[in-house]
A and B are shown apart, each in its own frame.
Chain A
Amino acid sequence: MRFLIRLTPRLLLICFLAPFASAGGPLVVGAGPAAGTRPAFGIDGKPFTWNPAKMPIQYRIDPGPMAANTSGTTVIDHASGVQRVQGMFGVWQSTPTASLSFSNAGNLLPAGAYTSGDLSSAQQFDAVIGSCRSGAQNPVIFDANGSLLNALGLPPEVIGFNTGCALDATNGYLTGSAIVMNGQFQDRVTTSSNLEMTVNEFDEAITHEIGHFTGLDHSQINLDLLLELPAVCDEDRLAGMPLMFPFAFCQARKDAGLPVLSHDEVAWISTLYPNASTPSNYGTISGTIFFADGISQAQGANVIARLLDDPSTSEDESRRVAVSVVSGYLFTGNPGQSVTASISADENNTDGDASGSRNTSLIGYYELSVPPGTYTIEVESVFDAFVGGSGVGPLNPPARLVGDPEFWNENESAFDFPLQRDPIIVHAGDNITGTDIILNYQFPRFDQYEDGGAFVDTPILPPVSPEESMHA
């Protein structure tokens, strides 16, 4: 494989200017203590999560109806809406290997322009978000007819969103977050400007948003399904496709008889919020992804652990049971640079992103928690269309690996057969380290003209005749 670094100098400059980056797996990662002018931000290399000592996470719900039609008639009343919201949070809470829990603390608390009743105006939304920013409440807002989203200048295609309000930058915790649900998708009216979804599709979209609420970013598994865009997704690949995939295009998981969370989400939520049973149900596989020189770490490759298929079953376990992360997910996507700071304040990227470790040993590092079993490890590009709102991992736009996915094998090199794969047996509690992959047919490092310090053996050439040798 070979990286195609497709950045124009302009884009490179543009990207240097961004002060904050996303992370693959966790949404926000600590950068550690203050350094220079960069303020302290969480615990170095540790994902931001809700404080496990302060479970359950309390949320408060808009007292209004969940969905109403344009004439103001309630289509889904408040009580039914509450039941559905609790069910959506419950999907995450029911993970037996995670300590995450939620509780419905009741109606929204009054805040400024919002005194009580149905939250229906942008001013009230602003006030409630203010209280979320102060850590007073985590609101779940029913925008029953889409008018709030309209006032916020958001398009009717927005099914719902999560907006993080506050975090504890000292201790690395998320402390405030809000969910908004567009009831127009459930008002049983379908026009070009009033779109509709099934109950399961809608609930899974909001459950995805709750995934962000917990601190999870997007995930990429079974990308081939997206590229085919089938009318109906096959069950094996849908089962393995994360709910946190950047966008939904298949039938609802529930409609296919699948659990709402894939193995990927269950593994990740158990990683971020482990409980006493997690070690007896998971083992970890970790390693580093390298450029072709075998020493320079490569950030931004999507790493997937897949369970080996069991030929005795009709299901394809390798498509169904998979866990992924982007290499360098704990490292910042933008370490900063001071070169452009002298141009203008707008160009100052001295501190880089607040998020992400500056520990260079994490640049290509990955770690995956998997249920016991026999796995293969593969790397692939993050789909290059996953930019902007669809981003996966710390690099946006993503770095591109050229060629087919490459598997890990025991004799890793930059020239091994990409499909050569060796199984890794994982028992509960195992920590299997050093599962490193050297990318094939790849530049030796990001800058191919830089000396990485690698020693490269020359190929074994055919014997040279004495005559040729003399002429050489």
Chain B
Amino acid sequence: MLRAMVRLRPRIVHLSSVLLIVLSAPAICPAQTTARTLPRALDQLASEADVIVHGYVVSARVESHPQLTNLMTVVVKMNVLDTYKGKPQKSLVFRQYLLDLRAQLGATEYRKGQELLLLLGPVSEFGLTSPVGLEQGRFLVSRDAKGKAVAVNGRGNLGLFNSVEKRAQANGVQLSARTTALVRHPAPGPIPLADLEDALRTFGSVR
């Protein structure tokens, strides 16, 4: 009750603080918002991917496709820390078609320094690829309050483990204890990177 009696009186608008908020806003990595996708579970995404890697974005350059010159693309170069599917490699370069007008103008989802776990689909005849399920196959890796690496995809990991155990049983896939715990108690939001890695290996996408 005592706290409720404390009142703040707006006095003067301090422009510098306002600008600081603006400049500091955790805001600015834009989105490819203009595609609608069907949700898929992690085992399905892993199965669909040709390449699954974990690494850092070294550069992301927006440019026209060399042949399809009206189509804007982003060329992403990554330093690879770990490969879970596909040929192990230290670096990876891929080109993705940009749907979103804003992304075409330069604001892609890829930024230098980002730590990502990517499940990339097959490369097309025009050298284009995307994360499988688009936002679903793109996990941003960060550190939680305890410094533990966690990963979340563009759907907040919602539905990521839907019916996974059932399909695994049907296909005779043995889930590890760690993955079983993960799929039985799914919760939206970031999951430990180590758990995600374990699950990706369990789903047959071993390095």
Chain A interfacial positions (CB closer than 8 Å to B): 5-8, 10-22, 27-28, 122-123, 125-127, 129-130, 133, 150-165, 167, 177, 185, 192-193, 195, 197, 205-206, 208-209, 212, 217-218, 226-227, 229, 246-249, 290-300, 331, 333-335, 337, 346-347, 353-355, 360, 363, 383-391, 394-399, 413-417, 438, 445-447, 450-461
Report chain A residues within 8 Å CB of B6. 413-415, 456-460
Identify whether the interface residues of A are mostly helix, strand, loop, or mixed.
loop
Whether the pair A14, B113 counts as a contact (CB closer than 8 A) is: yes
B33 touches A297 (CB 8 A): no
In the bound complex, what is the Cα–Cα distance between A153 and B50 (angstroms)?
Answer: 12
27 residue pairs bridging A and B, Cβ less than 8 Å apart: A11-B29, A18-B28, A19-B106, A21-B27, A21-B28, A27-B101, A122-B126, A126-B70, A153-B95, A157-B38, A159-B37, A226-B188, A333-B28, A360-B18, A383-B156, A385-B155, A385-B188, A389-B154, A390-B135, A390-B154, A414-B8, A445-B17, A446-B24, A450-B16, A454-B8, A456-B9, A461-B2
**Set B17, B29, B112, B113: member contacting A451, Cβ < 8 A:** B17
B177 at the interface (CB under 8 A from A): no
Asked if A294 meets B37 with Cβ closer than 8 Å, knowing A153-B129, A389-B31, the reply is no
Interface residue B96 (Cβ < 8 Å from any Cβ of A): yes
Given contacts A152-B128, A453-B11, contact A387 B106 (CB under 8 A): no
Rounded to whole angstroms, the CA-CA distance of A460 and B13 in the bound complex is: 26
**Is B180's CB within 8 Å of the partner chain A?**
no
Closest chain A residue to B73, Cβ basis: A153
Min distance, Cβ B60 to any Cβ of chain A, angstroms: 9
Interface residues of B, Cβ cutoff 8 Å to A: 2-40, 44, 47-48, 59, 65, 67-71, 95-97, 99-107, 109, 111-114, 121-138, 140, 142-143, 152-159, 188-189
Q: Which of chain B's residues have a CB closer than 8 A to the CB of A291?
A: 21
A35–B157 alpha-carbon span in the complex (Å)? 41
Across chains A and B, which 7 residue pairs bring their CB atoms closest together, nearest first? A385-B156, A153-B128, A164-B101, A389-B135, A20-B107, A391-B31, A453-B14
Cβ of A283 to closest chain B Cβ, rounded Å: 26
Which residue of the partner chain, among A12, A226, A296, A391, contacts B26 with CB atoms under 8 Å? A12
Cross-chain contact B5 with A247 (CB below 8 angstroms) = no
Q: Are A161 and B36 in contact (CB under 8 A)?
A: yes
Q: Closest CB-CB distance, B85 to chain A, in whole Å?
A: 15
In the complex, the answer to whether A247 meets B155 with C-beta atoms within 8 Å is: yes
Q: Which residues of A contact B24 (CB under 8 A)?
A: 5, 12, 446-447
User: In the complex, are the beta carbons of B68 and A123 less than 8 A apart?
Assistant: yes
Q: Max chain B CB contacts within 10 Å: which of A14, A385, A455?
A: A385
Tell me whether B33 and A384 are in contact (CB under 8 A): no
Please state if B96 and A153 are interface contacts (CB–CB under 8 Å). yes
Q: When the two chains form their complex, are residues A299 and B22 in contact, meaning their CB atoms are under 8 A apart?
A: yes
Chain B: minimal CB distance from A360 (Å) = 5
CB distance from A227 to the nearest CB of B (A): 6
| B31:A447 contact, CB within 8 angstroms | no
With beta carbons under 8 angstroms apart, the residue of A17, A156, A177, A398 that contacts B111 is A17
Cα A379 to Cα B10 in complex, Å, equals: 20
